[in-house]
Amino acid sequence: MEKREIKVKIYWNGFVSLDSYTIGQFWDRDIEMEFKGGDTLPFGDIDWEEDDVFYLQFTGLKDNNLQEIYEHDILQYEDVDEIIEVGTVEWDNRESAWHFISKESDCAMGRHFVGCGAKFKKIGNAYENPEFLTGGKK
Protein backbone atom coordinates (compact mmCIF):
# COMPACT_ATOMS: atom_id res chain seq x y z
CA MET A 1 0.00 0.00 0.00
CA GLU A 2 1.35 3.41 -0.95
CA LYS A 3 1.74 5.89 1.91
CA ARG A 4 0.20 9.35 1.57
CA GLU A 5 2.23 12.42 2.37
CA ILE A 6 0.35 14.45 4.95
CA LYS A 7 1.72 17.96 5.01
CA VAL A 8 0.56 21.54 4.94
CA LYS A 9 1.60 25.05 4.05
CA ILE A 10 0.71 27.90 6.40
CA TYR A 11 -1.36 30.94 5.42
CA TRP A 12 -0.40 33.79 7.75
CA ASN A 13 -1.61 37.40 7.53
CA GLY A 14 -1.89 37.49 3.74
CA PHE A 15 1.01 35.22 2.77
CA VAL A 16 1.55 31.51 2.17
CA SER A 17 4.69 29.80 3.48
CA LEU A 18 7.25 28.90 0.80
CA ASP A 19 7.90 25.47 2.30
CA SER A 20 5.53 22.73 3.42
CA TYR A 21 5.62 21.01 6.79
CA THR A 22 4.70 17.54 7.99
CA ILE A 23 2.46 17.21 10.99
CA GLY A 24 5.41 15.86 13.01
CA GLN A 25 7.42 19.02 12.34
CA PHE A 26 4.83 21.10 14.15
CA TRP A 27 5.87 19.51 17.43
CA ASP A 28 9.15 21.40 16.90
CA ARG A 29 8.03 24.90 17.84
CA ASP A 30 11.37 26.32 16.63
CA ILE A 31 10.57 25.90 12.92
CA GLU A 32 11.41 29.13 11.12
CA MET A 33 8.82 29.63 8.37
CA GLU A 34 9.75 31.72 5.35
CA PHE A 35 7.26 33.77 3.34
CA LYS A 36 7.38 35.63 0.04
CA GLY A 37 9.42 38.80 0.33
CA GLY A 38 11.84 37.25 2.81
CA ASP A 39 9.67 37.56 5.94
CA THR A 40 10.28 34.81 8.47
CA LEU A 41 8.34 33.72 11.54
CA PRO A 42 9.07 31.02 14.12
CA PHE A 43 6.10 28.63 14.25
CA GLY A 44 5.93 29.09 18.01
CA ASP A 45 5.33 32.86 17.57
CA ILE A 46 2.04 32.48 15.69
CA ASP A 47 -0.84 33.97 17.65
CA TRP A 48 -3.58 31.48 16.75
CA GLU A 49 -6.24 33.69 18.35
CA GLU A 50 -5.33 37.07 16.81
CA ASP A 51 -3.43 36.35 13.56
CA ASP A 52 -5.17 35.52 10.30
CA VAL A 53 -3.73 32.00 10.04
CA PHE A 54 -4.75 28.55 8.80
CA TYR A 55 -3.42 25.40 7.14
CA LEU A 56 -3.45 24.64 3.40
CA GLN A 57 -3.46 20.88 2.95
CA PHE A 58 -1.37 19.00 0.36
CA THR A 59 -3.72 17.20 -2.04
CA GLY A 60 -1.31 14.38 -2.86
CA LEU A 61 -1.41 15.51 -6.50
CA LYS A 62 1.16 17.23 -8.69
CA ASP A 63 0.73 19.34 -11.80
CA ASN A 64 2.31 18.51 -15.16
CA ASN A 65 5.54 20.24 -14.03
CA LEU A 66 5.59 18.01 -10.92
CA GLN A 67 4.79 20.95 -8.62
CA GLU A 68 2.84 19.90 -5.54
CA ILE A 69 -0.79 21.03 -5.50
CA TYR A 70 -2.20 22.45 -2.25
CA GLU A 71 -5.67 23.50 -1.18
CA HIS A 72 -6.63 26.90 -2.70
CA ASP A 73 -3.89 26.74 -5.33
CA ILE A 74 -4.79 28.28 -8.67
CA LEU A 75 -4.45 25.93 -11.62
CA GLN A 76 -4.51 26.64 -15.31
CA TYR A 77 -5.99 23.90 -17.51
CA GLU A 78 -4.42 23.84 -20.96
CA ASP A 79 -5.07 22.04 -24.21
CA VAL A 80 -2.37 22.31 -26.92
CA ASP A 81 -0.94 25.52 -25.42
CA GLU A 82 -4.35 27.16 -25.25
CA ILE A 83 -5.61 28.13 -21.80
CA ILE A 84 -9.04 26.57 -21.40
CA GLU A 85 -9.86 27.32 -17.75
CA VAL A 86 -8.37 28.85 -14.61
CA GLY A 87 -9.69 27.76 -11.22
CA THR A 88 -8.91 26.81 -7.64
CA VAL A 89 -8.46 23.53 -5.81
CA GLU A 90 -11.06 23.01 -3.07
CA TRP A 91 -12.10 20.12 -0.82
CA ASP A 92 -15.65 18.83 -1.27
CA ASN A 93 -16.90 17.30 2.00
CA ARG A 94 -19.96 15.77 0.34
CA GLU A 95 -17.87 13.77 -2.16
CA SER A 96 -14.76 13.46 0.02
CA ALA A 97 -12.61 14.57 -2.90
CA TRP A 98 -10.48 17.44 -4.16
CA HIS A 99 -12.16 19.49 -6.89
CA PHE A 100 -10.94 21.87 -9.58
CA ILE A 101 -13.49 24.71 -9.52
CA SER A 102 -13.68 27.36 -12.22
CA LYS A 103 -16.38 29.53 -13.74
CA GLU A 104 -16.93 26.79 -16.32
CA SER A 105 -16.76 23.61 -14.26
CA ASP A 106 -16.49 21.74 -10.98
CA CYS A 107 -14.50 18.54 -11.56
CA ALA A 108 -13.34 15.94 -9.07
CA MET A 109 -9.58 15.56 -9.13
CA GLY A 110 -7.67 12.36 -8.61
CA ARG A 111 -4.91 10.33 -10.17
CA HIS A 112 -7.28 9.17 -12.90
CA PHE A 113 -8.23 12.78 -13.70
CA VAL A 114 -4.78 14.39 -13.68
CA GLY A 115 -3.06 11.34 -15.15
CA CYS A 116 -5.27 10.90 -18.20
CA GLY A 117 -4.10 13.73 -20.37
CA ALA A 118 -5.40 16.68 -18.37
CA LYS A 119 -2.76 19.39 -18.50
CA PHE A 120 -2.80 21.35 -15.27
CA LYS A 121 -0.21 23.97 -14.41
CA LYS A 122 0.00 25.58 -10.97
CA ILE A 123 0.17 29.36 -11.42
CA GLY A 124 -0.33 30.66 -7.87
CA ASN A 125 -2.71 30.59 -4.93
CA ALA A 126 -5.98 32.32 -4.17
CA TYR A 127 -4.48 34.48 -1.40
CA GLU A 128 -1.39 35.92 -3.07
CA ASN A 129 -2.64 35.90 -6.68
CA PRO A 130 -6.42 36.58 -6.69
CA GLU A 131 -6.06 38.52 -9.97
CA PHE A 132 -5.52 35.20 -11.80
CA LEU A 133 -9.13 34.27 -10.96
CA THR A 134 -10.52 37.49 -12.46
CA GLY A 135 -8.68 37.29 -15.77
CA GLY A 136 -5.53 39.13 -14.70
CA LYS A 137 -2.22 38.22 -16.26
CA LYS A 138 0.37 35.95 -14.72
**pLDDT tens series, the chain, 138 aa:** 677 778 989 888 888 888 888 877 766 667 888 888 788 888 888 888 888 888 899 998 888 888 999 999 999 887 666 767 889 999 989 888 888 888 877 777 765 455 445 678 899 999 888 888 876 555
What are the domain boundaries of the chain?
7-54, 59-134
Dist CA 17 CA 122 (whole Å): 16
The CATH class for the domain spanning 59-134 reads mainly beta
